[in-house]
Structure 1
Amino acid sequence: MEFTFSQIIFALFLTLLAGFSTSIGAVIAFFSKKDDLRMLSFGLGFSAGVMIYISFMEILPESLHQFSEFYQSKWAELFGLICFFVGIILSGLIDRFIPQDVNPHEPKDYSEVKICPVVQAYGKNPIYFVENTIKINTKALKRTGIFTAMAIAIHNFPEGFATFISSLDSISLGIMVTIAIALHNIPEGMAVSLPIYHATRDKKKAFVYSSLSGSAEPLGAIIGAIIIFPFMGELTLAITFAIVAGIMVFISFDELLPTARTYDKAHDSLYGLIIGMAVMALSLNLLQ
């Protein structure tokens, strides 16, 4: 199977948009208050609904169909499911290698999104307040922000690959995955910018670090393209789709839904999940 130059460029463009939505998170972090973030919970739930629906109703069935062109039905399904779980395992291994204290996908309550990196960096000497002024170890706090950015960058490699492949398969599918990944990247941008901002009081520097952490997504897309394009064919695409479905399911259950619950109130994330699935189902039905 061959793709046109315009298809590849558009897929890379969507991946770029998804990756650099961490910049939006950086901006929100500078101005937001706790009560402002219920919509974020809804948005993350919406993203999870979109990605779960796409994975099980579109990408994985497409993979199984393409495997059936080469193997009998029983073996086609088996190979597809093996590749699906390979995607989950790969994502899990990447997540496993990230230290827990700088892993932005470890569930925390809202106060920890702002304060936890500070406490972790400060060890046994927690931060304290004097007339609303935070006393912190700025050197350690900045280091925490940088390590968080690196952790997010590593996580974003498979996400960029998933966005890129989905966009190549279908423009409408790619746009929906881009929106889902972009919403998911907003709190990641917050996790990077907050410790760096509190350490340096430099919004520009915090914004730059958040943006750079998102650059791993288009980089992951480019590296993935370089690896698979020389071998691109129907069978390669079947394997890739199944792996991508596994990656997206892992992202949804390990990252999106736990993070959505962080900001949840009155089942906002659940409503987002259901509406995300419904919107995805309706849009795909109308676009077919």
Structure 2
Amino acid sequence: MALLENLVLVFVAGLVTALATGVGALPFFFFDEISDRRNVVLWGLSSGIMVSASLFGLVEEGLAEGTPLQLGIGMAAGVLLVVVAHNVLVDAEIDPQEYEEADFKKLVLILGILTVHSFPEGIAIGVSFADLGLEGGMQFLGFTIPLLAVFMTVAISIHNVPEGTAISIPLKSMNVSNWKMVWWAVFSSLPQPIGAVLAFGFVRIAREFLPYGFGFAAGAMIYLVLTEFVPEALDLGSELPNGGKPELAAGIVVGVLVMVPLAFI
């Protein structure tokens, strides 16, 4: 029964991060569009949050649980997952503005890419709950929750908001209703609670693989930031002064400043 309760808790944490993606669609209830400048800042914010969560959360914990070699092997596997996923999806890129006039098939492709990208985040949540029930965590509803799990859940939830906005841009141009945009945004992150449960179950049963699990999640997320989020932000800001680099840098700095204090609580 305790195992089932733990799995439910981890699933709920993953579901919370998925629902946070829907928040990214909410601005379209009040505005017809979001400026490129704000979008660049949002992508920068997301990038700063994910790199901070990976370095100060997953990598640090992975080194505490295992060796640098184990962590490195896990990170390489995480990068490989993203690369393979891209190849399966014909190496398509996330570029919402390019597909503002997209047909249904192309829209499904966009959603498919974002869905594949959300799975590593679910794995990150799952491995962060590895010490669930052990001493040193915070008490919540009768559970002893690792501080790393709280940190990762908050980080990924905040990070998911700009992803929800990215999904909503082409949907808005196709006159999709506001509530349907919220649904599609949440839908793109539904693999997160599934990935969280699978990763948690795996590292609890085979705890010796925990360092690899931390590295896997960190590698996948850092690679996504470097190859998807930053290029996407620069592409969106190409028409802005200095190519949108100041807005991107500002977003990254804010993201880091928001998350770093949480890592040392």
The alpha-carbon distance between structure 1 residues 259 and 176, as it changes in their structure 2 partners (threshold 3 A), is: farther
In the alignment of these two chains, the number of paired residues is: 244
Give 1:17 deviation, angstroms.
1.8
Taking structure 1 as the reference length, what is the TM-score of the superposition?
0.69
Question: Whose Rg is larger?
Answer: 1
RMSD: 3.1
The alpha-carbon distance between structure 1 residues 99 and 23, as it changes in their structure 2 partners (threshold 3 A), is: farther
The alpha-carbon distance between structure 1 residues 46 and 94, as it changes in their structure 2 partners (threshold 3 A), is: same
Larger mean Cα displacement after TM superposition, 55-64 or 78-87? 55-64
The alpha-carbon distance between structure 1 residues 44 and 200, as it changes in their structure 2 partners (threshold 3 A), is: closer
The alpha-carbon distance between structure 1 residues 24 and 213, as it changes in their structure 2 partners (threshold 3 A), is: same
Alignment correspondent of 1:217: 192
1:99 is paired with a residue whose SS is: coil
The alpha-carbon distance between structure 1 residues 247 and 168, as it changes in their structure 2 partners (threshold 3 A), is: same
Alignment correspondent of 1:26: 25
Task: Give the alignment partner of residue 210 of structure 2, picking from 228, 234, 237.
Answer: 237
The alpha-carbon distance between structure 1 residues 86 and 198, as it changes in their structure 2 partners (threshold 3 A), is: same
Give 1:241 deviation, angstroms.
1.3
Alignment correspondent of 2:82: 91
Structure 2 counterpart of 1:259, which letter?
E
Alignment correspondent of 1:155: 117
Rounded to whole Å, the distance in 1 between the matches of 2:246 and 2:10 is 34
Alignment correspondent of 2:14: 15
Give 1:63 deviation, angstroms.
2.0
* Contact 2:62–2:215 under 8 Å retained in 1: yes
Give 1:171 deviation, angstroms.
4.4
Rounded to whole Å, the distance in 2 between the matches of 1:200 and 1:97 is 29
Rounded to whole Å, the distance in 1 between the matches of 2:173 and 2:41 is 27
Any residues of structure 2 matched to 1:1-288 within 5 Å, and which?
A: 8-29=7-28, 31-35=31-35, 38-67=37-66, 76-101=67-92, 103-104=93-94, 108=95, 113-114=96-97, 116-119=98-101, 121=102, 141-168=103-130, 171-199=146-174, 201-231=176-206, 233=207, 235-264=208-237, 265=244, 267-285=246-264, 287=265
Cα deviations across residues 46-72 of structure 1 (Å, max 9, x unaligned)?
Answer: 3322332333344223323322xxxxx
Cα deviations across residues 216-255 of structure 1 (Å, max 9, x unaligned)?
Answer: 2112222333444432x2x221221121221221122123
Give 1:161 deviation, angstroms.
1.2
Structure 1: state its 5+ residue gaps.
68-75, 122-140
The alpha-carbon distance between structure 1 residues 167 and 51, as it changes in their structure 2 partners (threshold 3 A), is: farther
Give 1:163 deviation, angstroms.
2.3
Structure 1 counterpart of 2:21, which letter?
T
Larger mean Cα displacement after TM superposition, 274-283 or 78-87? 274-283
Percent identity, please.
23
Give 1:270 deviation, angstroms.
1.1
Structure 2: state its 5+ residue gaps.
132-144, 238-243
The alpha-carbon distance between structure 1 residues 39 and 61, as it changes in their structure 2 partners (threshold 3 A), is: same
Rounded to whole Å, the distance in 2 between the matches of 1:276 and 1:204 is 28
Cα deviations across residues 256-286 of structure 1 (Å, max 9, x unaligned)?
Answer: 323333455461221232233344333333x
The alpha-carbon distance between structure 1 residues 89 and 62, as it changes in their structure 2 partners (threshold 3 A), is: same
Rounded to whole Å, the distance in 1 between the matches of 2:88 and 2:53 is 27
* Contact 1:160–1:221 under 8 Å retained in 2: yes
Cα deviations across residues 105-158 of structure 1 (Å, max 9, x unaligned)?
Answer: xxx4xxxx34x2245x4xxxxxxxxxxxxxxxxxxx233223322222222112
* Contact 2:76–2:216 under 8 Å retained in 1: yes
Taking structure 2 as the reference length, what is the TM-score of the superposition?
0.74
Rounded to whole Å, the distance in 2 between the matches of 1:59 and 1:201 is 37
1:261 is paired with a residue whose SS is: helix
Rounded to whole Å, the distance in 2 between the matches of 1:46 and 1:201 is 27
The alpha-carbon distance between structure 1 residues 274 and 219, as it changes in their structure 2 partners (threshold 3 A), is: same
